[in-house]
Structure 1
Amino acid sequence: MSITESPSHYDHLEQMSIRELLEGMNREDQTVPLAVAQAIPQIEAAVKAIVQKMKAGGRLFYIGAGTSGRLGIVDASECPPTFGVPHDLVIGIIAGGDQAIRKAVEFAEDDEQQAWKDLQAYDISPRDVVVGLSASGRTPYVVGGLREAKKSGITTICITCNPDTVLAKIAQYPIEVIVGPEFVTGSTRLKAGTAQKLVLNMISTATMIQLGHVRGNKMVDMQLANTKLIDRGCKIIMEELGLSYTEARNLLEQYGSVRKVIESFNE
């Protein structure tokens, strides 16, 4: 039996009080960052490979099913507003298509050929990188997609929560975060999902910093898509250039980008 499917350390959950349920889940959740820490050397190797490819003009793809697929889409969708990159630079693909983001599509994850078809729709090539997301490490949709990507000379990475899986054997850069049994047996949206989210945060953020989209510790390339972000941009400019809020706001409206404002003063 795989670790992600092994019995919970807790039993008779229906007899527990709400406080006992919450404390038990929280106790389990506290183990996740420690498991991620053990995988940092694997994550580092993967990020180095991604950065090399993206500096040469490549793209980053995430493929997954269910919770894993949704997490990939969340991470991909947050890169443009956070770092100002094009929407087609980091792409999340889920088994069953976009409708599966909100509602499970039955048996979509069982089609071993579909992920590669989905990737081909983006004219994927050896310039790109594919990250396969599967807590179990055996999801057919992800396994098939990663296998075909590797055959086509594309750099392959995986994030799993079981050791020595078929997916990890395919991936050139396997990332294995072993979080142990779930609080509710087999419910990998819990610890396994949290672990995958943490790793995806690390991958995309470290990559974007390496690509130059952060200055100091500020998101100078963020999209000014709402009042909160415009306000944040003004405050970054104030701090960087010693200007008043009104001056910063006027410059931001003039240049349309925090980076452009700062660079205009450093020319």
Structure 2
Amino acid sequence: MSRARALPGLTLALAGVLYASWLIGPLLNPAFGLLDGYASELAARDQPYHLVFGLGDLVAGALASATGLALARRARGGPRWAWWALVAFGVATALDGTVSSMDCAPSVDARCARLAEAGALSWRNQWHSVSSALAIAAALASLLALLMSRRGRPASFRWGLAVAGVLLVGTAGTLAELVHPDAALGAWQRVQLLGLSGWLLYASGIVVTQGNSASSAGTRRASSAEPGQQRGAA
């Protein structure tokens, strides 16, 4: 496999792992269980170790946007839109962990919840909702474009459908909980986040297998050309 394909695949896989930094949340911030509240609250500015989770989003977003830009520049056809959407996701995710990180965690702070309900928190909280929504929309668009490009590869297409199912179920559940909140909000959002990490790993696999396919095709072309070249030399 060429380094040109191995590196983007590796960076996307790393972005997928870093995006799941919420999994270590209960270890660093015991106030949150694995399925409690918004995962973004771990990076709220008043929470312990918020810099760890903010940095996770920043690095994951930077890797995703840089890789998406590199892939989009050399891609042709449908997949190109998948990589441009990956760039948008990366930018929005990097903002989530830095500029638009939450002021405080309403799930564990009653005063924060009252301020949030009254709209008395800073502009960062308003922008956090926007950047998070943009990240989800971009990821869904990218996954759809990747699925369209893999229709001729049944195994890859089925894996993509499975990832899409997890992401869509998690997103639908999260939206429903926003309308009628209850204790299940954290669980639904974690399903959504697993779907997002799954999408990044799926995209990584596509990049790597495309590289392998291109390498195999080049080898076959070189092998088929050798007999003709030998006859010409004779």
- The alignment's TM-score, normalised by the length of structure 1, stands at 0.24
Which structure is higher in helix share? 2
- Relative contact order (C-alpha < 8 Å, sep 6+): which is higher? 2
Q: Which has the higher strand share?
A: 1
